[in-house]
Amino acid sequence: MTENTQRAQKPAEGQEPRIYVACLAAYNNGCLHGQWIRAEQETEDIQAEISEMLKGSPILDAEEWAIHDYEGFEGAEISEYASIKSVAELAAFVCEHGSLGGKLLQHFCGDIEQAEGAFENYAGLYSSLADYAQALIEETIEIPERLANYIDYEAIARDMELGGEVFTIELSFEKVHVFWVR
């Protein structure tokens, strides 16, 4: 894969998405009782782990739970009362697309459909949006050598972004993922 078409790496071992689910009956009675649960699994399996955690609660017949913490979602946010289904879907997306997937979810406020759709318009990985603008222009237009030094690629890139033609996700220094807006 060339640098301009590679995607972010999947989460490192030990960084898999997981949630901390707490028993609300215990919490409301001043006792902390909960469990970390791996989020990239079937919803039925997550529910089974939550049920087991509730059975072990110091409060009899505990039924209610909430997500009190999460990690490994690469910037995507999980609400306290998110559904198990949505948590599993977000985890699967992040595991498939890594940090870039998490940042896309953050960009689209957790909307998986929009984040997945963004990959259809993925332009590549560049050191800056100006580098992308330069590559795009040089691929599509033959520029006379005597004019090449007068082209302001930074201004073109800024206009592309401010005009709503593209958006970028920067994961680290000089690692800018460029996406066309539909």
Residue 90 in 3-state DSSP?
Answer: helix
Q: What crossing angle do the helices spanning 153-162 and 129-140 adopt, rounded to 10°?
A: 100
56-75 average pLDDT score = 96
The pLDDT assigned to 4 comes to 38
State what percent of residues in the chain have pLDDT above 70.
Answer: 92
**Which position has the token pair 């009675």?**
29
Q: Cα–Cα distance between 26 and 55 in angstroms, integer?
A: 12
Question: What domains are there in the chain, each with its CATH number?
Answer: 18-110 (no CATH), 119-180 (1.10.10)
Q: Is the model's pLDDT at 144 over the cut of 60?
A: yes
Task: List the single range of 11-15, 16-20, 122-126, 173-177 with lowest mean pLDDT.
Answer: 11-15
The pLDDT assigned to 182 comes to 77
The pLDDT assigned to 6 comes to 37
Q: Is the model's pLDDT at 14 over the cut of 90?
A: no
